[in-house]
Amino acid sequence: MKYAVLFPGQGSQSVGMAADVRATRTDLLGDPANAVLGWDLDQLIADGPQERLTATQHAQPALYATSYALFDEFSKAVDSAPTAAAGHSLGEYTALAASGALDFFEGLALVAARGEAMAECAAASASGMAALLGSDEKTAESIAEARRSDGGELYVANLNAPGQIVVAGGSDDIAWLVENARNLGVRRAIALDVAGAFHSPFMADAADALKGALDETSFSPLAFDVYANATASPTQDPSATLAEQLTAPVRFAETLTNLARNGVSTFVHVGPGDVTAGLAKRTVPGADVRVVSDIESAHAVARDLSVQ
């Protein structure tokens, strides 16, 4: 049986998440993590407030760390390794750590640098993102290209699943899109509560800043394929694809489709929430989709997969 593990990105964080794994895996989520981050990871997740946890520079390390710890629990209980892994945006870092390409703590430092760079970049310009309802990729690209030709800044940023497309742009461009969606052939555009225009040229300075950290990172051989967001195919050069990821669209639907074409029939979301599980269900009809969001489910899913 071929299965792939999927890791969530920013937006899946919540106060109190992963309480059991935080309590038991202090080797990963306790003082050693705090020493890397310079702030108390467990306390912030446990006590919040949500606004502080949701800040880009906090949410990304928190999700990376808890998702990896859950994967470690799952991998110890299951009798076969994944065929491949993928992660949504930030989740690509977790996937690389899970594959052995990144040491956990080195990856945590890299994610912290990414979060800081993205937060600074988002604060430098008025920008945001919007979800398009009732749109396909061709329509979204056409709208974005037309807006840019008129002097605006609008880009397709996330191709998450059929019917789930997100665009990024300047605040004025997002407001224009929300107001004119129906006239543009989109049922509705909903502005998202995010800090900036992620996965677009608005993140160019963050990508430049991150390249320095990536150049100092040593990647080991991968134990299994990790599909890159920017290419929707197995990464050959993690440093390059992680840098490209910040300004390129997240091609998650295409990633899921390619995994299925390569024989993956089971998808296991590992981490807080269940966002990637929902995307897998929408993108690959009939797929066996599981969710690992705590230690109990990690062991239960591992048992199920081990007997198949």
Catalytic residues: 89, 199
Separation between Cα atoms, residue 30 and residue 73, nearest integer Å: 16
| DSSP secondary structure letter of residue 264 | -
Neighbours of 208 (CB within 10 A): 14
User: 229-246 burial string, b = 16+ CB within 10 Å, else e?
Assistant: bbbbebbeebbebbbebb
70: nearest Cα among 36, 9, 20, 3: 20
Which stretches within the chain are classed as H helix?
19-24, 26-29, 31-37, 41-47, 50-54, 56-77, 91-98, 104-123, 137-149, 171-180, 204-215, 238-245, 252-261, 275-283, 295-306
Output the six-digit token pair for 188. Answer: 């509705």
287 residue type, one letter: A
- The upper half-sphere exposure of residue 100, i.e. CA atoms within 13 Å in the direction of its Cβ, equals 10
Within 8 A by CB and 6+ apart from 176, the residues are 147, 152
15 residue type, one letter: V
